Structure 1
Amino acid sequence: MIIGIGRGPLSYFVWKHLREFIGSVVLPYPLFYDAKRDLLTNKYAYINYLRKLQLRRKEVKIAVYPDYIPPNKVHVNLSLLKSIEFIVPIHSLEDLAIAAELEALGFNIYYGFASEPHYRSYTLNDFIRAVKGKKWYLGISTKREFQEALRVGFDGADITGFLFGKNEDRKNALKLRRMLTDFLKQVSKPQGRQSSILEFFPLNWGV
C-alpha cells in the first residue's frame, strides 16, 4: 500500500525525519498533491488547480483529480500531466465514467473511495464490486477506516495526523517519529502480513 500525506505539519515532519521511506512507501506533499482548498473557491477553480499541477509536474507523483469534471470538458491541456497518476474521486458510481475516460487517454489512475459517507452515494461493497482497477482510500483519519482499507486490500490511501492520536500526542516529536516509523515499516510489508500494524497505535487512536 502507498501512503499519501497532504500539505501540512505531518508531511513536513516526514520530510524532516523519515526521508528513508519517501518514494517507496510514503509520498508526502508535494509528491502527493491534494489541494482541496484550491478546488472549493468556485466551479472553475479546477482550472487553476490543474495549471498549478502543470507547473509542479516534475515534483508530483500522485494527485487527486478534480471532482466531477470529465476530461472532455477540462479547459486545460491534460497531456502535460501524463507523468502524474490521478486519483479520481468517486462520489457516485456514474463517476466511474470519468476514470474510464482518463484511462482511455493513457493516464494511470486510482479509483478514489471517499471515507466520509456523505460524499458518496454507494456502499463500500458497491465500490468493490464496481471497480476493477487500482483503489485508493481518500482521507483516512480513524482506526476503523484504516482497518477497512487493509481488509479490502486498497492499493493506496492518504492519511491525516488524527490517525496518530490526539493533538498532544502528535506534539511529542519522539513519540510521533516512533509511531510513524513503525507504521511505515508495517505498511511496506506484503499484503496479508500487515495485521500487526494496529499494535503500533495508542489505545485512544481513532474510533
Structure 2
Amino acid sequence: MIIGIGKSPLADFVNRNFRCESVYAYPKFFDNKVLLLENRDRAYIHYIKLLVKNVSKVRIALWPDYTSIKKVSKVVNLGLLRGISFIVPIHDLSDLEIVDKLRENGFRAFIGYASDKKFRDYEIEDFLKEAKRPLWYLGVSTKKELKEAIRYGFDGFDITGYLFGRNEDRKDPRALKRNLEELLKTVSKPQGRQSSILEFLSVNWGV
C-alpha cells in the first residue's frame, strides 16, 4: 500500500526524516487540490504547466478533475508525462471514462475514491463494484477513513495532517514521529509485514 502526502509541513518533515519506498511526499506525490477545485474550466491548464516544471521529481500525481486526456494534450506533449502514475478523481461514475482513455493511451492510472461526500454522487459500494484496480483513497484525514481504506483493500491513499489530531501534535516533532510510526504499523498489519516495520524508519530522525 502506497501513502501519499501533498505539499505541506508534514511532507517537508517526511522528506527530511524518512526513507521508505512506499511513502511518497510532495513533490514525489504531486497535487494541488485548492487550484484544481477553484476554477474547473481553467485550473487544469495552470496545474499541468506546474506539473511539467516539476516532472523530474514526480512519481505519482493527481490527474486534473473532470478533465479529458484530449484537453490535456492541447496543453502539453503527453510524452513528457509518461513516467508519472496518475490518480483520477471520480466525482461521478461516468468519470471512469477518463481512466479508460488514459489506460488506452498507455498511462498508469489509479482510480480515485473521493472521501468527502460533497465531491461525489455515489457510495463506496458502487465505486468498488464499477472500478478496476489499482484504486486510490483520496484525502484520508480521520481514523475512520483510514480504517475504510484498509478494510476495502485500496492500493494507495493520501493523508492530511488532520489525521494526526491536534495542531500542537502536528507541530511537535516527537509526537509527529510517534504518529507516523503508528500509521506505518497500522498499514503494515493487513499486509503481513509488521515484522519489517523498521525498514520504514530513518536511522536518525533529528529529534
Normalising by the smaller structure, the TM-score range is 0.7 to 0.9
**Pair 1:29 & 2:22 matched:** no
> Where does structure 1 lack aligned partners over 5 or more consecutive residues?
198-207
User: Which residue in 2 is equivalent to 1:163?
Assistant: 163
Residues 38 and 45, structure 1, Cα contact 8 Å, conserved in 2 = yes
User: Which residue in 1 is equivalent to 2:59?
Assistant: 61
Structure number with higher helix proportion: 2
User: Which residue in 2 is equivalent to 1:176?
Assistant: 176
Alpha-carbon distance in structure 2 between the residues aligned to 1:145 and 1:187: 13
User: Which residue in 2 is equivalent to 1:44?
Assistant: 42
Alpha-carbon distance in structure 1 between the residues aligned to 2:100 and 2:106: 10
Residues 153 and 191, structure 1, Cα contact 8 Å, conserved in 2 = no
Alpha-carbon distance in structure 1 between the residues aligned to 2:193 and 2:132: 23
CA, structure 1 residues 131+44, in 2 after alignment: closer, same or farther (shift >3 Å)?
Answer: same
User: Which residue in 2 is equivalent to 1:202?
Assistant: none
Helix, strand or coil at the partner of 2:150: helix
Residues 150 and 187, structure 2, Cα contact 8 Å, conserved in 1 = no
**Pair 1:153 & 2:153 matched:** yes
Share of identical aligned residues, percent? 52
**Pair 1:138 & 2:138 matched:** yes
> Where does structure 2 lack aligned partners over 5 or more consecutive residues?
198-207
TM-score normalized with structure 2 length: 0.87
User: 1:32-52 CA distances to partner (integer Å, 9 max, x unpaired)?
Assistant: 001123324532121121122
TM-score normalized with structure 1 length: 0.87
Q: CA deviation at 1:162?
A: 0.9
Alpha-carbon distance in structure 1 between the residues aligned to 2:50 and 2:122: 31
Residues 113 and 137, structure 2, Cα contact 8 Å, conserved in 1 = yes
| Amino acid in the other structure paired with 1:47 | I
Residues 90 and 113, structure 2, Cα contact 8 Å, conserved in 1 = yes
CA, structure 1 residues 40+182, in 2 after alignment: closer, same or farther (shift >3 Å)?
Answer: closer
Residues 39 and 49, structure 1, Cα contact 8 Å, conserved in 2 = yes
Alpha-carbon distance in structure 2 between the residues aligned to 1:144 and 1:132: 23
Q: CA deviation at 1:93?
A: 0.5
Count of residues in correspondence between the two structures: 192
Alpha-carbon distance in structure 2 between the residues aligned to 1:58 and 1:189: 33
Runs of 4+ deviating beyond 3 Å: none
Residues 91 and 119, structure 1, Cα contact 8 Å, conserved in 2 = yes
CA RMSD in angstroms, aligned pairs only: 1.8
| Amino acid in the other structure paired with 1:97 | E
